């Protein structure tokens, strides 16, 4: 079986302006979402408390709220979580000297007193200082991954390719963050892990295409730059789509069977995969062309021939 029996190269570069315009628009929207809505950071980064309580009957959110308000616990948010029997309670922690351990005990014992079937499923308490540290190390991890990938690309390709791939991938990150900001999905530590993992993963898409471009520059002596790139994208398209569909299938399995805990993680991966393909092919290549790649660029990192013999 074969899905992609393409006889002629698809003129991707002809639509270069359109594809870059689309992604520029998405990018701008993402930036706007980040500026005006901001990321809905989880307690991992902000500090705070989160409790998941399960009841034997569908939970009465109002009763839960009233019970907690009677305890003078300020600014609680109560919502159902997953099923109607599960309740998620969020309590912001303000000030440095809140005893989180005591607070969680207080909250749960008052809920238990109100309804004996209440079962504590999960407590997450992150002190403000720990939250700040996680935030910082998260940001640092992001920078480290970006830096590492940039370094790799710079070593691997001539600068025009490297810059194009970096732009494509930065644009991916901003879009994932932007989508999370727009829908106000909770951005937790595991979502960040997903974003970083997918970043490393989608970069190699650009690597595969650019490798093919390099190979084509050698083989197709008479073709123009646009034709060379079109041929490279068309030739690798089958692999690109099959590979990413496989990964996406796995991510979908996580999304549907992985429960609430993996929900946002799978979401981040999905956005990363979709935009990863799009940008590394339809953004990186036009950008590289705009930057004026030519045969001469191949001369920069001279490598042995075997390295260029790739799909």
CB 3 to other proteins: min, Å: 8
Window 200 to 229, contacts with other proteins (CB under 8 A): 200-201, 203-204, 207-208, 211
- With binding defined as CB under 8 A, does residue 246 bind other proteins? yes
Residue 114 in tokens: 């109100």
Do 168 and 206 touch, CB atoms closer than 8 A? yes
Do 68 and 89 touch, CB atoms closer than 8 A? yes
Output 207 or 282, the one with its CB closest to other proteins: 207
Window 92 to 111, contacts with other proteins (CB under 8 A): 99-102, 104-105, 108-109
Rounded to the nearest angstrom, the gap between the alpha carbon of residue 120 and the centroid of all alpha carbons in its chain is 31
Among 46, 71, 80, 243, binds other proteins (CB under 8 A): 243
Output 33 or 209, the one with its CB closest to other proteins: 209
Output 27 or 45, the one with its CB closest to other proteins: 45
Q: How far apart are CA 243 and CA 246, in angstroms?
A: 5
CB 199 to other proteins: min, Å: 6
Output 34 or 146, the one with its CB closest to other proteins: 146
Give backbone dihedrals phi and psi of 87, rounded to 5 degrees, phi first: -125, 135
Q: Say how many C-beta atoms besides its own lie within 10 A of residue 3's C-beta.
A: 10
Output 183 or 256, the one with its CB closest to other proteins: 256
- With binding defined as CB under 8 A, does residue 177 bind other proteins? no
Among 6, 18, 28, 242, binds other proteins (CB under 8 A): 242
CB 45 to other proteins: min, Å: 12
Window 16 to 75, contacts with other proteins (CB under 8 A): 52, 54
Among 35, 70, 253, 296, binds other proteins (CB under 8 A): 253
CB 14 to other proteins: min, Å: 25
- With binding defined as CB under 8 A, does residue 307 bind other proteins? yes
CB 305 to other proteins: min, Å: 11
CB 25 to other proteins: min, Å: 27
Do 240 and 205 touch, CB atoms closer than 8 A? yes
Among 7, 221, 257, 302, binds other proteins (CB under 8 A): 257
Q: How far apart are CA 165 and CA 167, in angstroms?
A: 5
Window 117 to 176, contacts with other proteins (CB under 8 A): 119-127, 129-130, 134, 137-138, 140-141, 144-145, 148-149, 152, 156
CB 44 to other proteins: min, Å: 9
Do 35 and 304 touch, CB atoms closer than 8 A? no
Output 59 or 203, the one with its CB closest to other proteins: 203
List the end-to-end C-alpha distance of the chain, in Å, as a whole number: 19
**Contact range with other proteins by CB under 8 A, out of 32-40, 58-66, 191-199, 287-295:** 191-199
Q: How far apart are CA 180 and CA 38, in angstroms?
A: 9
What does the angle CA 186 – CA 70 – CA 77 come to, to the nearest 5 degrees? 10
The bridge status of strand 48-54 relative to strand 119-126 is antiparallel
Among 291, 14, 28, smallest CA distance to 171 is for 28
Do 204 and 193 touch, CB atoms closer than 8 A? no
Give backbone dihedrals phi and psi of 47, rounded to 5 degrees, phi first: 80, 150
- Number of H-type helices and E-type strands within the chain: 11, 6
């Amino acid at each position: 079986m074969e899905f992609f029996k393409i006889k002629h190269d698809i003129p991707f570069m002809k639509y270069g302006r359109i594809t870059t315009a689309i992604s520029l628009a998405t990018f701008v929207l993402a930036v706007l979402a980040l500026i005006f809505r901001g990321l809905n950071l989880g307690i991992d980064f902000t500090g705070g408390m989160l409790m998941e309580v399960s009841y034997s009957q569908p939970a009465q959110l109002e009763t839960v709220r009233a019970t907690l308000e009677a305890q003078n616990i300020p600014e609680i948010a109560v919502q159902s979580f997953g099923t109607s029997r599960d309740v998620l309670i969020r309590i912001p922690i303000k000030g440095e000297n809140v005893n989180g351990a005591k607070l969680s005990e207080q909250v749960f014992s008052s809920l238990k007193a109100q309804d004996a079937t209440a079962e504590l499923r999960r407590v997450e308490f992150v002190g403000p200082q720990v939250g700040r540290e996680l935030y910082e190390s998260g940001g640092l991890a992001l920078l480290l991954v970006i830096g590492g990938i940039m370094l790799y690309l710079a070593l691997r390709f001539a600068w025009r390719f490297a810059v194009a791939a970096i732009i494509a991938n930065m644009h991916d990150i901003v879009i994932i963050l932007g989508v999370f900001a727009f829908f106000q999905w909770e951005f937790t530590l595991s979502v960040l892990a997903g974003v970083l993992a997918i970043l490393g993963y989608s970069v190699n898409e650009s690597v595969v295409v650019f490798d093919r471009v390099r190979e084509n520059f050698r083989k197709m002596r008479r073709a123009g730059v646009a034709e060379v790139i079109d041929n490279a994208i068309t030739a690798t398209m089958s692999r690109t789509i099959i590979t990413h569909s496989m990964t996406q299938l796995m991510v979908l399995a996580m999304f549907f069977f992985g429960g609430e805990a993996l929900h946002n993680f799978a979401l981040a991966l999905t956005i990363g995969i979709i935009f990863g393909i799009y940008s590394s092919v339809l953004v990186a290549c036009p950008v590289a062309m705009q930057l004026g790649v030519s045969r001469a660029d191949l001369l920069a990192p001279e490598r042995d021939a075997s390295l260029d013999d790739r799909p």
